Structure 1
Amino acid sequence: MPDWVTVRAAVERLGLIETGVTVADRLLGRIRGTVKTAGGRGGGALTFGAGSHVIGRRNITFQGAFTCGRRCRIEAVTVHLATPYQPTLVFGHGVALSDDVHIACAQQVVLGTDVLIGSRVLITDHNHGQYHGDAPSRPEEPPNRRALSTAPVIIGDNVWIGDLVTILPGTVIGSGCVIGANSVVRGHVGPGQILAGAPARTLRVFDPRRGQWVAAHD
Structure 2
Amino acid sequence: MTEKEKMLAGQAYDAWEPELLALRANAKKLCHQFNQLCPSENDKRNQIINALISPKGKCHIEANFFCDYGINIEVGDNFYANHNLVILDVCKVKVGNNVMFGPNVMLSTATHPLDAIERRSTEYGKPIVIGNDVWLGGNVSILPGITIGDKAVIGAGSVVTKDIAGNGVYAGNPCKFIKPLV
TM-score normalized with structure 2 length = 0.70
Would you say how many aligned residue pairs link Structure 1 and Structure 2?
Answer: 144
Q: Using the alignment, how far apart are the partners of 2:59 and 2:161 within structure 1? A: 25
The aligned amino acid for 2:33 is: R
What's the Cα RMSD here?
A: 2.7
Match of 2:54 among 54, 61, 71: 61
Aligned to 2:33: 30
The aligned amino acid for 2:107 is: I
Aligned to 1:117: 101
1:76 Cα deviation after fit: 1.8
The aligned amino acid for 2:163 is: H
* 1:95-106 mapped onto 2 (5 Å cutoff): 95-106=79-90
The aligned amino acid for 1:137 is: A
1:47 Cα deviation after fit: 7.6
TM-score normalized with structure 1 length = 0.59
Aligned to 1:15: none
Q: Using the alignment, how far apart are the partners of 2:147 and 2:128 within structure 1? A: 6
Query: Aligned to 2:67, what secondary structure does the other structure show?
Result: strand
Cα deviations by residue, 1:41-83 (Å, 9 ceiling, x for unpaired):
xxxx87849xxx86x83xx331011101121113327xxxxxx
| Mapped contact 1:137–1:146 kept (Cα < 8 A) | no
Match of 1:160 among 135, 143, 146: 135
Change in CA separation of 1:46 and 1:153 when aligned onto 2, cut-off 3 Å: farther
Q: Using the alignment, how far apart are the partners of 1:111 and 1:75 within structure 2? A: 16
Match of 1:91 among 44, 69, 75: 75
| Mapped contact 2:159–2:175 kept (Cα < 8 A) | yes
| Structure possessing the higher radius of gyration over alpha carbons | 1
- Give runs of ≥4 in structure 1 deviating > 3 Å: 45-49
Change in CA separation of 1:47 and 1:168 when aligned onto 2, cut-off 3 Å: farther
Query: Aligned to 2:68, what secondary structure does the other structure show?
Result: strand
- Percent of aligned pairs sharing the same letter: 24
Q: Which runs of 5+ in 2 are unaligned?
A: 1-28, 36-41
Q: Using the alignment, how far apart are the partners of 2:83 and 2:93 within structure 1? A: 19
The structure where strand makes up a greater share of residues is: 1
| Mapped contact 2:127–2:146 kept (Cα < 8 A) | yes
Q: Which runs of 5+ in 1 are unaligned?
A: 1-25, 33-44, 78-86, 207-211, 213-218
